[in-house]
């Protein structure tokens, strides 16, 4: 798994945000489009693409997309 | 894992009743920014819900559903040996609401009655109990009444819960007959107790303080007597457990998803059910939805969906798969051999 791929999956979940603006350092909760429903689609994406269980506290405890990626990575291995 | 198979019992008839008052989610401007309302409605798939009047209880909705079922199928009250009431919004803390319903429905004093308390998974567990009693010697018929009025325990200023929940009551008649096997797989994980909870009760005694509405996480307002849900944890729980539970049930019963005529999910929200459909690769036309009309009616949602969407569809022999999941955490799936099940359309209270 790669960080670039994870960022692409994340960017695909957004409808109104330009994918080119999504980076590893993006603070996802500051995105105008961020909402509790987008959070659910992140959890669904992580389940589908990585077969990893992601909890509410994982999202609440993360700031950047790389933070999310690192949690997923630690559970895949 | 509790894997249970029943022989020679089945669902003879089913009915449902909803309150007549309609609440529209497009009117939630006081709770959700106007520009987000349409998107929210599309995601959760709930346009409107039915909300019980202050003097209408889950037991009233179930009572009317039961009357309808008994009238539509010429069921004599004294032919019912067991009455189960599944709800987390009973009339009183004491006595059990099933006792009140025995009297109201004119059932015999020889009727065995008790209440069952579970969240959105409740119908699966209660139906398994109904099948178990109906299998026993000495029991002819079991009447299972499953109803909820979550509108009474959800704060109208809680934007996680209020847009979701609606009220409904249902009746399911289970009896012995020429039915094929039905298998249930029922699961529990109490380590997730905090994902969905009403804080005040016996462990945290009810005091005047418990009644005070307070601002909680993300500006949601609620008292300790009202439902809290960690939406992300419940979502994670459901998507990780439900498709696996359905697949396991199919495997254990040597069936494939193609053998299932209808798959009825607990109507949690549209986004989640669409995820299950995709994950299980089942044709969407075999997955009935009524969430757009009635919202999430907790454990009543599986029988309500059957009454709303499958009237006339369960004649002859059919294979019905159902799956429920919710507070506890608790989840289960069942594959039922149906035969000439008489489904009464939804009525209003």
Mean pLDDT throughout B228-235?
A: 90
The answer to whether the CB atoms of A53 and B236 lie below 8 A apart is yes
DSSP A18: -
Confidence band of B219 (pLDDT split at 50, 70, 90): confident
Burial class from Cβ neighbours inside 10 Å (0-12, 13-18, 19+) for residue B320 reads buried
Mean pLDDT throughout A19-42?
A: 90
Is residue B298 within 8 Å of residue B166, measured between CB atoms? no
Put simply, the chain B residues between 179 and 218 with a CB less than 8 A from any chain A CB are 218
Mean pLDDT throughout B100-116?
A: 98
Q: Say if residue B168's pLDDT is above 80.
A: yes
Chain A residues interacting with chain B (CB cutoff of 8 angstroms)? 35-37, 39-41, 43-44, 47-48, 53-57, 59
Average pLDDT of chain B is 96
Mean pLDDT throughout A6-30?
A: 91
pLDDT digits (tens, 9 = 90+) for B176-213: 999 999 999 999 999 999 999 999 999 999 999 999 99
Residues 6 or more apart whose CB falls under 8 angstroms from that of A61 comprise A67
Q: Say if residue B69's pLDDT is above 80.
A: yes
Q: Contacts from A59-63 at CB under 8 Å and sequence distance 24+?
A: A59/B232, A62/A28, A63/A27, A63/A28, A63/A29
Confidence band of A77 (pLDDT split at 50, 70, 90): confident
Q: Which domain holds residue B192?
A: 1-349
Secondary structure class of B18 (helix, strand, coil): strand
Whether B271 and chain A come into contact, CB under 8 Å, resolves to yes
pLDDT digits (tens, 9 = 90+) for A46-60: 988 898 989 889 999
The answer to whether the CB atoms of A56 and B236 lie below 8 A apart is yes
Q: Say if residue B121's pLDDT is above 80.
A: yes
Q: How far apart are CA B134 and CA B130, in angstroms?
A: 6
Phi-psi category of B199—alpha, beta or left, where left has phi over 0 and alpha has psi -120 to 50?
alpha
What is the enclosing helix (H) or strand (E) of A44? helix A36-50
Residue B232 is nearest to which of A39, A47, A48, comparing CB atoms? A39
The answer to whether the CB atoms of B239 and A44 lie below 8 A apart is yes
Average pLDDT of chain A is 91
Predicted model pTM: 0.92
Q: pLDDT value at position A36?
A: 81
User: What CATH code is carried by the domain that includes residue B282?
Assistant: 3.40.47.10
Residue A55 is nearest to which of B40, B236, B272, comparing CB atoms? B236
Burial class from Cβ neighbours inside 10 Å (0-12, 13-18, 19+) for residue A18 reads exposed
Q: pLDDT value at position B1?
A: 62
A3-76 CATH fold? 1.10.1200
Tally the domains of chain B: 1
What is the interface pTM, i.e. ipTM, of the complex? Answer: 0.74
The answer to whether the CB atoms of B40 and A37 lie below 8 A apart is yes
* Residues of chain B with C-beta less than 8 angstroms from the C-beta of A54: 236
The answer to whether the CB atoms of B43 and A36 lie below 8 A apart is no
The answer to whether the CB atoms of B239 and A35 lie below 8 A apart is no
The answer to whether the CB atoms of B43 and A37 lie below 8 A apart is yes
Q: Say if residue B55's pLDDT is above 70.
A: yes
Q: How far apart are CA B54 and CA B133, in angstroms?
A: 34
**Sign of dihedral through CA atoms B330, B335, B336, B342?**
positive
Q: Say if residue B42's pLDDT is above 70.
A: yes
Burial class from Cβ neighbours inside 10 Å (0-12, 13-18, 19+) for residue B184 reads buried
Closest of B130, B122, B111, B140 to residue B6, by C-alpha: B130
Confidence band of B234 (pLDDT split at 50, 70, 90): very high
pLDDT digits (tens, 9 = 90+) for B251-295: 999 999 999 999 999 999 999 999 899 889 899 999 999 999 999
pLDDT digits (tens, 9 = 90+) for B175-186: 999 999 999 999
Put simply, the chain B residues between 149 and 178 with a CB less than 8 A from any chain A CB are 160
């Amino acid at each position: 798994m790669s960080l670039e791929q994870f960022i692409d999956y994340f960017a695909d979940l957004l409808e109104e945000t330009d994918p080119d603006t999504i980076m590893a350092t993006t603070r996802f909760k500051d995105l105008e489009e961020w909402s509790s429903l987008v959070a659910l689609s992140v959890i669904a994406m992580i389940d589908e693409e990585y077969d990893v269980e992601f909890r509410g506290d994982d999202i609440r405890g993360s700031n950047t997309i790389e933070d999310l990626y690192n949690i997923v990575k630690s559970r895949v291995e | 894992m509790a894997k249970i198979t029943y022989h020679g019992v089945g669902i003879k008839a089913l009915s449902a009743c909803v309150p007549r008052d309609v609440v529209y989610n497009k009117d939630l401007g006081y709770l959700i920014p106007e520009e987000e309302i349409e998107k929210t409605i599309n995601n959760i798939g709930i346009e409107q819900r039915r909300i019980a009047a202050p003097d209408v209880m889950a037991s009233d909705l179930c009572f009317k559903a039961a009357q309808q079922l008994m009238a539509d199928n010429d069921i004599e009250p004294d032919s019912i040996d067991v009455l189960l009431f599944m709800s987390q919004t009973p009339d009183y803390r004491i006595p059990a609401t099933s006792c009140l319903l025995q009297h109201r429905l004119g059932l015999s004093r020889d009727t065995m009655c008790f209440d069952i308390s579970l969240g959105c998974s409740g119908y699966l567990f209660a139906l398994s109990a109904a099948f178990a009693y109906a299998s026993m010697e000495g029991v002819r018929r079991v009447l299972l009444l499953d109803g909820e009025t979550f509108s009474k325990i959800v704060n109208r200023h809680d934007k996680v819960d209020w847009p979701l929940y609606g009220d409904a009551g249902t009746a399911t008649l289970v009896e012995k007959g020429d039915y094929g096997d039905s298998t249930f797989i029922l699961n529990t994980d109490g380590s997730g107790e905090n994902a969905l909870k009403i804080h005040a009760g016996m462990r945290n005694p009810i005091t005047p303080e418990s009644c005070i509405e307070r601002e909680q996480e993300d500006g949601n307002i609620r008292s300790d007597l009202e439902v809290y849900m960690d939406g992300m944890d419940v979502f994670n729980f459901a998507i990780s457990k439900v498709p696996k539970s359905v697949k396991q049930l199919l495997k254990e019963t040597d069936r494939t998803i193609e053998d299932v005529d209808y798959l009825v999910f607990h109507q949690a929200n549209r986004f989640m059910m669409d995820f299950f459909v995709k994950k299980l690769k089942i044709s969407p036309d075999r997955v009935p939805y009524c969430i757009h009309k009635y919202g999430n009616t907790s454990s009543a949602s599986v029988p309500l969906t059957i009454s709303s969407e499958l009237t006339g569809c369960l004649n002859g022999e059919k294979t019905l798969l159902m799956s429920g999941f919710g507070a506890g955490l608790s989840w289960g799936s069942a594959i039922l051999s149906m035969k000439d099940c008489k489904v009464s359309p939804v009525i209003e209270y």
